Amino acid sequence: MIEEYRLSKLPRYGKIFIAAFAIMIIGVVLWMFVLGGLESGMVGNGDATVEEIAEEAVTDLGTIEEEEAMEPLIEDSELVTPPDWSDSGEQKVITEADEEKFADVGDTAPAISFWEKFEENMEISMEHFSSEVLLFFAVGMVFLFTGYGGATKRFFYIFLAVLIVLHAFGVAGYGFCWPADIIMYVIGPIILLTLLVIAVMILKDLGRK
């Protein structure tokens, strides 16, 4: 019975709606790829500091004196002491005499327990899992009404569902064991590629007669 309802049989406005949906899914996938590249340092300036970025910009432009362009950034980035509320409440620039006192500031990270880290991972994992399940349902529902064969649909549904579940476990175990790290970094891009392929297949199916 479901074979009677196909995307190719939709009226023009229906096809426009489905096409817009598929294009936005492609946009989401590409957006996530760029975001992943930025977070991993594969895209962008990586660990470049504000001063380094400013110096590069000044060099490229060649119209602004380097010292004049850098001066506001350097002033803003100077280390300052915590406000002294017993006095004026103003922050004061750290002098050479204070260097030893503040030498270790920023070098030590706050201690985090095993369960705190695990809880943080679980929260992030749930966010990823919830978003991916919603995408799975939305894309899968539209894909259900395409003209592709049952075996093709069954493959993509099972394959994508397994990937999403494994990815959730990978994110939850990130930092605790190397298999979880591999699962998170490898399966994430595969999920995005699978969604991209399905979205393109949906667009292709709209043109069928």
Q: How far does Cα 48 stand from its chain's mean position? A: 20
Using CA atoms, how far residue 65 sits from 58, 68, 70, in Å, is 8, 5, 9
SS3 content of the chain, % helix, strand, coil (to 5): 70, 0, 30
Tens place of pLDDT per residue across the chain (209 aa): 666 677 878 888 888 999 999 999 999 889 888 887 777 666 665 555 555 655 665 565 555 555 666 666 666 555 555 555 555 555 556 566 666 665 555 555 555 677 777 788 888 889 889 999 999 999 999 999 888 888 999 999 999 999 999 999 888 888 888 888 888 889 989 999 999 999 999 999 887 76
